[in-house]
């Protein structure tokens, strides 16, 4: 096989995978934002079926050999293809250890659990959600054992989010944080005792809050032709590609700052997604370097900018 042919086949597979994942993303977004409550069953079946197709496209001997061939010739590849192949190797090695049927069933379980969680949250009924939570945790533990039974499952999933980090690393980090933050908080509380906060809990019409949110998004200079917003039970951002980013917020009539800062936070995530490099589109490298990088962008806008005296003064 010639290298150019292998690269072409690799990119063709990537485009096909993206198409399925795009469709699955739209289904998931719709389920969180506007789909009828009873649509969850059909959506779960569709997501399960589509995930099976993704599995079959990606997990097979031909793909395995293709990735190996590219990595054997990685010094002749451009940086994007090389890094995509390295990521594909890791993803293949992880996913191929999970049986396809269980992979599909887990996709359905996540969908069904999300539906039950929405209903249970509205009724403050944890017992209704508890069995689904147990199934989710048990399945993730089983998948971790498939992938590497010799590694603590929590460490394995930490590594998925932040490459190379373990519980020991985070214990050290949080110990340092606790040492510095607790005295600072104790010092700040008395100083804030006379701060006026009554206005933060008044009743504010949701439509007025939405207008404020729109004003903030204009201030953050997001491209209106490349993002869409909606409401969901819990705010989130979904980057389908750099020209199609969706994010949500949740409004409480007597908690206006909740919606304000969740909007700024999610818009920070969206800003990151909207500004990835063009050459990374459809490669799997276009959704952020890691969860930590992604959260650093959302927190930067929410806390460093959004809670600064200068921004609040401007907004006021």
Whether the Cβ atoms of residue 17 and residue 50 lie closer than 8 Å to each other: no
Separation between Cα atoms, residue 59 and residue 62, nearest integer Å: 8
Catalytic residue among 41, 225, 266, 302: 266
The torsion angles phi and psi of 179, rounded to 5 degrees, stand at -60, -35
**What residues does 249 pair with on adjacent strands?**
231
Helices (H), 124-244: 126-147, 153-161, 167-191, 206-219
Residues in the chain: 316
Rounded CA gap, 77 and 49, in Å? Answer: 34
SS3 label, residue 90: helix
The first and second tokens of residue 8, run together, are 């072409």
How high is the pLDDT of residue 245? 98
> In angstroms, how far is the first alpha carbon of the chain from the final one?
64
State yes or no: is 225 an active-site residue: no
Q: Looking at residue 30, what is its pLDDT?
A: 97
Question: Which residue ranges in the chain fall short of pLDDT 50?
Answer: none
pLDDT at 261: 98
């Amino acid at each position: 096989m010639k290298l150019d042919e292998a690269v072409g086949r690799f990119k063709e597979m990537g485009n096909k995978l993206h198409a399925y994942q795009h469709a699955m993303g739209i289904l998931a977004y719709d389920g969180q934002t506007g789909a009828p409550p009873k649509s969850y069953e059909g959506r779960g079946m569709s997501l399960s079926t589509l995930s099976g197709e993704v599995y079959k496209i990606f997990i097979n001997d031909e793909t395995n050999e293709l990735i190996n061939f590219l990595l054997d010739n990685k010094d002749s590849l451009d940086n994007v293809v090389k890094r995509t192949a390295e990521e594909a190797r890791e993803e293949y090695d992880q996913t191929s250890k999970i049986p396809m049927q269980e992979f599909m069933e887990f996709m359905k379980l996540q969908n069904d659990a999300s539906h039950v969680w929405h209903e249970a949250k509205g009724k403050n009924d944890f017992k209704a959600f508890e069995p689904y939570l147990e199934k989710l945790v048990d399945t993730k533990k089983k998948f971790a054992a498939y992938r590497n039974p010799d590694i603590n499952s929590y460490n394995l999933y930490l590594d998925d989010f932040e490459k190379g980090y373990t519980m020991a690393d985070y214990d050290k980090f949080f110990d340092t944080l606790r040492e510095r933050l607790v005295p600072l908080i104790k010092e700040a509380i008395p100083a804030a005792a006379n701060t006026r906060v009554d206005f933060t809990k008044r009743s504010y019409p949701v439509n007025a809050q939405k207008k404020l949110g729109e004003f903030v998004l204009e201030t953050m200079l997001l491209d209106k032709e490349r993002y869409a917003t909606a409401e969901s039970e819990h705010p989130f951002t979904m980057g389908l590609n750099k020209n199609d980013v969706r994010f949500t917020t949740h409004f409480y009539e007597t908690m206006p700052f909740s919606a304000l800062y969740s909007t700024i936070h999610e818009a920070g995530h969206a800003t990151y997604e909207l500004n990835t490099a063009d050459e990374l589109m459809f490669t799997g490298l276009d959704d952020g370097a890691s969860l930590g990088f992604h959260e650093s962008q959302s927190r930067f806008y929410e806390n460093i900018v959004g809670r600064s005296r200068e921004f609040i003064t401007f907004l006021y």
